[in-house]
Amino acid sequence: MAATVLDGNRISAEIRAEVAEEVKSLAQAGIRPGLAVVLVGHNPASEIYVRQKVKACEELGIHSEKLTPAETISTERLLELVQELNQRDEIDGILVQLPLPAQVDSKRVLMAVDPAKDVDGFHPMNVGFLSTQRPGLVPCTPAGMMEILRRSGIPISGQEAVVAGRSDIVGKPVAMLLLNANATVTVCHSKTRDLAGVCRRADILVAAIGRAGMITGDFVKPGATVIDVGMNKVTEPGEFKRLFAGNAKREETFRSKGSVLVGDVHPEVAQVAGALTPVPGGVGPLTIAMLMSNTVRAAKLRRASRMAELSRV
């Protein structure tokens, strides 16, 4: 029996509707959340992502600004730009779209973002808040994955969770979120001995390794929930055949476009898992929904702390 498909588009729409309501209630208090997106140069993929983020802001009533400095910008000038945004009161969230050009020190730039406006949740202060269960801003993709589990009625507390991948952006924060939700968590990676055996212990398996179709059926315990974070473009006919041989719909796409998208999970896993996020249409839509949610959360946290300060004066 094929796995239940966990519909990221539906859950994303739910979250966006909730955020729109929060924006309306903040408006009654004279507050409009604001997001500034910094897009350096002309990376086509980044331009698409930024367009989607700005569009989502428009739809939900969030003020947004897109800043597009030249590809040749220096680290120092970009740091000045971030500092200007840090000081602007109407901006609650700052997002520096990655990747940045080679001459820019990305780590310095990300560290310069005020943690209270760090809607990506990458700043070490927010990482620390997450690990100590204090209120802060959580990376968007991991936060979205937790929403998929919760809103799909999948139990987390007491479950064995395995996270395949240890990136600072996905693997580590989702492991911490699962741990905070009382799962027993194992983080594994390319150096893990018997990777398939470790993954097979999981009631909840998160695939965030970044390799097309690496998680095959023998990595998955029958009935497990599999969250596929991967987004890989397959262009080689041999690789396509390994993943999609006999899939007429995908074959038609591959013939017409010369490529298909696939996650880190092999399609055969659908015959083993109990529930599975598709690619596309699984985790992806949640990332922008949670960015919108984080922007509203940042506005609330910032205003709350400022109101508390005023009340003490």
| Residues forming the active site | 53, 97, 120
The angle formed by the CA atoms of residues 35, 36 and 38, to the nearest 5 degrees, is 145
Are the C-beta atoms of residues 301 and 121 closer than 8 Å to each other?
no
Among 120, 133, 124, 134, CA closest to 182 = 133
Beta bridge partners of 64: 35
| 109-148 b/e (C-beta count within 10 Å ≥ 16 → b) | bbbbbbbbbbbbbbbeebbebbeeeeebbbbbbbbbbbbb
Cis before 99 (ω within 30): yes
Nearest-angstrom CA–CA distance, 229 and 171: 10
Q: Hey, what are 170's tokens? A: 């996905």
Q: Is 43 helix (H, G, I), strand (E, B) or coil?
A: coil
Q: DSSP string covering 152-198, please?
A: TT---TT-EEEEE---TTTHHHHHHHHHHTT-EEEEE-TT-TTHHHH
Q: Hey, what are 136's tokens? A: 């802060």
Question: What is the number of other CB atoms lying within 10 angstroms of the CB of residue 313?
Answer: 4
Are the C-beta atoms of residues 140 and 291 closer than 8 Å to each other?
yes
